[in-house]
Structure 1
Amino acid sequence: MKKPQKTRISAISKLKRRNLLRLLGGTATVALASCVRRPLVGLPSGAASGATSGAASSAASPAAASAAASTAASLPRCVVKPQQTEGPYFVDAALNRSDIRSDRASGQVKPGVPLNLVIQVFQVGNESSNANANAACRPLSGAIVDVWHCDAAGVYSGVQDPRFDTGGQDFLRGYQTTNSDGIAEFLTIYPGWYPGRAIHIHFKVRVGDASPQRYEFTSQLYFDDAISDQVYTQPPYAAPGQRIQRNRQDGIFQRGGEQLLLQLSQTERGYLGKFELGLAIA
C-alpha cells in the first residue's frame, strides 16, 4: 500500500508549479460552470443558455466577463408594467399605419424631432405550469398596439378641448400589429407638453379583439427630463414657452411612471425609443 502512494506523490512532485496551478484553475472553471447551469426563469428561449455560457467563461478572462455583462444587459425585461389612465383623447380611428406624423385629410406632416418608437410585447405565463421555464416569457404576435399623443404645441387630433378643436383630423394616431418577435414600430415625433402633465405617449394593447376572451392593456410612456430639456430648446418646441411640469410633479407619473420610461438613444435624425412590456394574459 505504501509503494503506490509514494509513486503518486513522486509523480505530482515532478509537475512544475505553473502546470499545477493551470490544472487547478481548469478544475475551478468547470466547478463554476456546474454551479451556474440552471434555467433563468422569465426569459425568452435561448436567453438562459447565453447567460450561462457567459457567466462560466467570465472566470477565465475579463473580456468574457464584460461580454457576459453585456448579454445580461440586453436581455428583455419580461415584467408586467403598471396600467395607467386612458385619458380623454383616445379615438378608435382604426388607422393601420406605422408613420403616424401626418393628417390624412390635409396631408400635412406635423413638425418635430423624429422619434422611432419600438414597443415589444411579451406574454408572461405561469412557469410552474410549464415544462420549460423559458416558456414563461415569449414574444406575443398578433397583438394590436395603438399609440396617440399630442403635437409639439400640446394639441391632440380628433377631439374638442377648451384649448383646441381638431375634429376630423387624425395626426399622431395609429396602430400596428405585433410581428413574430412581438414588435410594433412607429415613426412619429417627440411629443410636446401642455399644462398639468409631464411629457408622455398613450398606448393601448389589445389581444383577441374580436373574441369573448378579449384582453386590453392601457398605459402611458414617459421621457427622461434631461433629454426633453435638450429637445425643447429647438423649434417648434420652444414656441409654447418653458414647460413647468416635470415627471416627478405629475400625479399620474407618480403611480408607476418610473417603470414606464422609454429607453432613449440618439440617432442621426432624432431619437430611438424602445419599450418592453410583459402581459399576464390568462
Structure 2
Amino acid sequence: MNYTSATPRETVYLLSPEQIAGPYFRNPKLIRRNISEGQDGIPLVMRLAIVDSMTGEPVNGALVDIWHCNARGSYSGWSRINPDLEVDAGHIGAIARTDDDTYLRGGQFSDNKGMVRFTTIYPGFYAGRALHIHVAVRITGGNNYLEERHVAWVGQLYFPEVATRSVLSAKEYKGRSVSPLSNEQDHFYENMGGDASTLAVHSIGRDTTEDGFFAHTTIGIDTFAVSTQIRPEDFDKYTV
C-alpha cells in the first residue's frame, strides 16, 4: 500500500530545510547499514538520495548518519530516560547520557548515485513529539573520515499519518501512558519545514503492515555549508 499523496511531486532539488539535532545526538562512529540491533518493532527499509542543491547532481562519498528512538520512545545512550515525560528538546549536551548502548544509530557513505540505504525499525515516539528520524550529512575527505567534523546539513524526517496510525496499533508500540503528537501539532514540524521533510512510505506486504515498510526521500544540501545545528565543538561534548 502506498501511504504517500497520489499527486506526484515535480523533481526539483531545492535546499532541504534544516532542523535541530536535539539532545540525543552521538558520534558512535558506526558504519553500518542495519542499525536495528534486534530492537522490537515493525521493519523499515529506508533509502535516502543526497543531492547538491546548487547543481542537482548526486553527492558521492558523504557520510550520512541517522538516529532515532525505539518502539517505546527511548534513544540508545539515554535508555534510562523516561520517554513518557517531556524533556528539554534543546541543544546537544543538554541531557547527560545514561548508558553506552548504540541501537538505532549508524552511518553510511553515499554511493556514486548519492544513495544510502538503512535497515531499521519504524520509530516510536516520546512525549511532546511526532514520530521522526534524525539525519546529519557530513562532507568527508582524506582517510581519517570518522574524525571528520564538517557537518553540512542536519534535519529530521517525518512519516505520513496514515502509516503511523497503522504502526502504533502494533503490540510493540501499544500500552503507553502518553500519545504522540500529530505532525501538525509538532512544533518543529510546523516551524522548521516539516512538510518538505516527510518521507514517501510504502508497505512491503500486500495485505499487512507486519512485513514492514519502505521509505524514501531526496535531501538537497549545500556541500559548502557548515551547519549551525551540529558544530565542530559539539563532537567534544561529554555526552557525545
User: Which category of TM-score, normalised to the shorter sequence, fits these structures?
Assistant: 0.7 to 0.9
214, 223, 236: which one aligns with 2:159: 223
Equivalent residue of 1:247, what SS? coil
1:117-196 equivalence runs, <5 A: 117-125=46-54, 136-159=55-78, 162-163=81-82, 167-196=99-128
Task: Give me the whole-angstrom Cα distance separating, in 2, the residues matched to 1:79 and 1:119.
Answer: 15
Task: Give me the whole-angstrom Cα distance separating, in 2, the residues matched to 1:183 and 1:80.
Answer: 17
Q: Which of the pair has the greater relative contact order for Cα pairs under 8 Å at 6+ separation?
A: 2
Distance 1:219 1:161, change over 3 A: farther
Provide, for residues 225-262 of structure 1, a one-character-per-residue CA deviation record: whole Å limited to 9, x for no partner.
12111111111011325624111111111121000000
Tell me the residue number matched to 2:233.
none
The answer to whether the 8 Å contact 1:139/1:181 transfers is: yes
Tell me the residue number matched to 1:259.
196
Tell me the residue number matched to 2:40.
111
Tell me the residue number matched to 1:280.
222
Gap regions ≥5 residues in structure 1 = 1-71, 103-108, 126-135
| Identity value in percent | 31
The answer to whether the 8 Å contact 1:156/1:166 transfers is: no
TM-score, with length taken from structure 1: 0.64
**Alpha-carbon deviation of 1:121?**
0.3
Equivalent residue of 1:147, what SS? strand
Provide, for residues 116-174 of structure 1, a one-character-per-residue CA deviation record: whole Å limited to 9, x for no partner.
0111000122xxxxxxxxxx211111000000000000000013664277511100000
Equivalent residue of 2:165, what SS? helix
The count of residues paired between Structure 1 and Structure 2 equals: 196
TM-score, with length taken from structure 2: 0.75
Gap regions ≥5 residues in structure 2 = 1-6, 84-96, 206-210, 225-240
Tell me the residue number matched to 1:240.
176
The answer to whether the 8 Å contact 1:145/1:178 transfers is: yes
Equivalent residue of 1:230, what SS? helix
Structure with larger Rg: 1
Equivalent residue of 1:188, what SS? strand
Equivalent residue of 1:97, what SS? coil
Distance 1:212 1:172, change over 3 A: closer
Task: Give me the whole-angstrom Cα distance separating, in 2, the residues matched to 1:120 and 1:112.
Answer: 25
4+ runs of 1 displaced by more than 3 Å? 72-77, 209-215
Distance 1:148 1:74, change over 3 A: same
Tell me the residue number matched to 1:200.
132
Task: Give me the whole-angstrom Cα distance separating, in 2, the residues matched to 1:234 and 1:203.
Answer: 25
**As a proportion of its length, which structure holds more helix?**
1
79, 92, 109: which one aligns with 2:14: 79
